[in-house]
């Protein structure tokens, strides 16, 4: 942004800034919609070149793609085994990593011991 524009914006009142932001947000939504349409048209054309519809390409990729990747390193995410289980609902488990799930936190706050919920190794 140029210094002149920055100075002009700085001199604007709160209400003027809110109005400008509303207009900019509207313009951004329109440009994003335009960009999305162009991208979809490009994908449809590439699919058609291959003798497929875009729906066929998308459907074929669902559920049969590669393993989920770690978003930072691009390698497969490591799966951890559950170490703790809610006796009231065996579908509720916890690996022991990260925050305690709600069901476990409530039990611990009620005075129960963590070892009570440990799964046999």
In this prediction the pTM is 0.41
pLDDT on residue 58: 79
**For residues 67 and 75, what is the distance between their CA atoms, to the nearest angstrom?**
9
pLDDT tens digit sequence for 29-54: 999 999 999 999 999 999 889 898 88
**∠ Cα 105 111 112 (to 5°):** 75
pLDDT on residue 101: 95
pLDDT tens digit sequence for 70-113: 666 667 778 889 999 999 999 999 999 999 999 999 999 999 99
């Amino acid at each position: 942004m140029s210094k002149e524009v920055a100075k002009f914006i700085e001199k604007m009142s709160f209400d003027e800034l809110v109005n400008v932001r509303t207009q900019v947000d509207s313009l951004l939504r329109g440009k994003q919609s335009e960009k999305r349409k162009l991208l979809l048209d490009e994908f449809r054309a590439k699919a058609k070149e291959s003798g497929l519809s875009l729906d066929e390409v998308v459907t074929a990729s669902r559920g049969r793609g590669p393993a989920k990747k770690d978003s930072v390193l691009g390698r497969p995410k490591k799966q951890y085994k559950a170490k703790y289980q809610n006796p009231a609902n065996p579908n509720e488990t916890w690996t022991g990593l990260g925050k305690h799930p709600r069901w476990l936190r409530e039990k611990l706050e009620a005075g129960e011991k963590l070892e009570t919920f440990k799964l046999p190794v």
